[in-house]
Amino acid sequence: MNSYERHELKDYENAKLRVPFAFDEERLCAPKTAEKGKHYFCPGCQDTVILKKGEVKAAHFAHKASKTCNQETIVHKTAKNLIVKMISDWKAGKTESPKLRRKCGFKFDFGLYGEKTCEETCDQPMPDKVEQAVTEYRMSNGFIADVALMVENEPALAIEIRVTHAVDENKAHSLSVPFIELDGHTVLEKPNHFDPIRDNKLNPFTCNTCKHAEPKFEDKVTKVVKQTRIKLPDRDSCYYRYGIDKCWNCQREIILYTWPGDDWDTSPPKKKPIPQTIKFCYSRTIGHKYWANTCPCCKRIQGDFFLYGSNLFPFSRNDMVDSPDAYRQDMQKIVFCARFNRMLEKTNPASTHCVK
């Protein structure tokens, strides 16, 4: 190596710019898969970079100090080109579909407890209808998207890359298609996983847990009924609303009921047969007997304060109407209360089994 080459190499070694990916003559390459002897170029300024690939340090590209290139530009342009590469490889069958991290927007009115939103995050596969990704795409209103995902040759989603500055609010509100904003450094680490810092105008997303809450609820009810050895009343009667909760005393999961009437009702429920765990019990809290739920395992009363003072039944007994439509609406509220309170998750059968 002559003195000129040694001087050039020293410049590379002293450089502060980090180049995570570089272009060869055709494509974007990672240093691990790059080949020695080939020419590679910086995505930010197209200047030549040198491949460092030895046995001690991790493979990387080195960039000479530059007045025309900076770290922000390198990250910004590399992230855009990585997204294009990932979409291209996916459509060519070389890799799995990129995943878009979404937040469930399912909202439900819980009566006494107001409106709640799920907000559970899930990975949504990229829709198959996406054909390609294009960098620096000019929209019809003149704004340029960092990356546009195309469907039938029209932009369907704009992707903006943030390195140090967020998307300008004027641009955010003026983009004619839905958009997501991604952190540039995160894209470099996980190019096939889009985790938006923000999104705008995307179609509402509902997670699978919310979509399948009702069948999961019924499945869990069936298991608890079997474990506690009780018989569920006829559901076609549309009278006894039922939910799942833990007994305040023994902590086993049990079925609890509510029905139209008055709080601490001294009159028996109208529909017969009355579920076996509903008893006419004395309550020291209120000082008299009333029709209340009891635990099938430890036999302790499950008082109305316990039922309606939690999220189990998101309404009072006085609010219930004895009609099939009202019954279905009440049961839907109970189902989603159970979903939000994580009562639909799996339980160890041994911990819930009642011994009679």
**Cα 354 to Cα 94: distance, rounded to the nearest angstrom:** 53
**Cα 139 to Cα 52: distance, rounded to the nearest angstrom:** 40
Give residue 1's Cα distance to chain centre: 56
Is the pLDDT at 90 greater than 50, yes or no? yes
Is the pLDDT at 355 greater than 90, yes or no? no
User: What pLDDT, on the 0 to 100 scale, is given for residue 34?
Assistant: 92
Q: What is the value of pTM for the model shown? A: 0.71
- Please tell me which residue, 325 or 172, carries the higher pLDDT value: 325
User: What pLDDT, on the 0 to 100 scale, is given for residue 265?
Assistant: 81
Mean pLDDT of 30-44: 91
User: What pLDDT, on the 0 to 100 scale, is given for residue 341?
Assistant: 82
User: What pLDDT, on the 0 to 100 scale, is given for residue 271?
Assistant: 93
The residues with which 108 forms a beta bridge, in sequence order, are 116
For residue 90, the surrounding DSSP H or E stretch is helix 71-91
The pLDDT confidence band at residue 4, using thresholds 50, 70 and 90, is very low
The pLDDT confidence band at residue 60, using thresholds 50, 70 and 90, is confident
User: What pLDDT, on the 0 to 100 scale, is given for residue 344?
Assistant: 85
Q: Check: CB of residue 129 under 8 Å from CB of residue 151.
A: yes
Could you give the residue ranges of the DSSP H alpha helices within 154-275? 169-174, 184-189, 208-211, 213-228
Is the pLDDT at 353 greater than 80, yes or no? no
pLDDT digits (tens, 9 = 90+) for 231-284: 999 989 999 999 999 999 999 999 999 999 887 888 999 999 999 999 999 999
The pLDDT confidence band at residue 177, using thresholds 50, 70 and 90, is very high
**Cα 157 to Cα 194: distance, rounded to the nearest angstrom:** 13
The tally of CA atoms less than 13 A away on the side-chain side of residue 72 is 7
Q: Which residue has the tokens 């309606």?
A: 308
Mean pLDDT of 292-304: 94
Mean pLDDT of 159-182: 90
Is the pLDDT at 162 greater than 90, yes or no? yes
Strands 179-183, 154-162: pairing kind: parallel
Mean pLDDT of 159-171: 91
Q: Please report the sign of the dihedral spanned by the C-alpha atoms of residue 224, residue 228, residue 231, residue 234.
A: negative
The pLDDT confidence band at residue 91, using thresholds 50, 70 and 90, is very high
The pLDDT confidence band at residue 14, using thresholds 50, 70 and 90, is very low
The tally of CA atoms less than 13 A away on the side-chain side of residue 339 is 28
Is the pLDDT at 127 greater than 60, yes or no? yes
**Cα 84 to Cα 294: distance, rounded to the nearest angstrom:** 61
Q: What angle do CA 341, 344, 347 make, to 5 degrees?
A: 110
Report cis status (omega within 30 of 0) of the bond before 273. yes
Buried b (16+ CB within 10 A) or exposed e, 262-293: eebbeeebebeebbebbbebeeeeeeeebbbb
User: What pLDDT, on the 0 to 100 scale, is given for residue 16?
Assistant: 60
Strands ordered across the beta sheet of 28-29: 18-19, 60-62, 48-52, 40-41, 22-23, 28-29
- Please tell me which residue, 57 or 169, carries the higher pLDDT value: 169
pLDDT digits (tens, 9 = 90+) for 305-352: 878 756 678 777 778 899 999 999 899 889 988 888 888 876 555 455
End-to-end Cα separation, the chain, in angstroms: 88
**Cα 182 to Cα 163: distance, rounded to the nearest angstrom:** 9
**Cα 30 to Cα 21: distance, rounded to the nearest angstrom:** 5
Buried b (16+ CB within 10 A) or exposed e, 34-59: beeeeebbbbbbeeebbbbeeeeeee
Comparing 24-38, 131-145, 275-289, the range with the smallest average pLDDT is 24-38
Is the pLDDT at 109 greater than 90, yes or no? no
User: What pLDDT, on the 0 to 100 scale, is given for residue 300?
Assistant: 95
User: What pLDDT, on the 0 to 100 scale, is given for residue 57?
Assistant: 78
Residue 155: C-alpha distances to residues 133, 134, 268 (Å): 9, 9, 64
Is the pLDDT at 192 greater than 90, yes or no? yes
Mean pLDDT of 147-155: 96
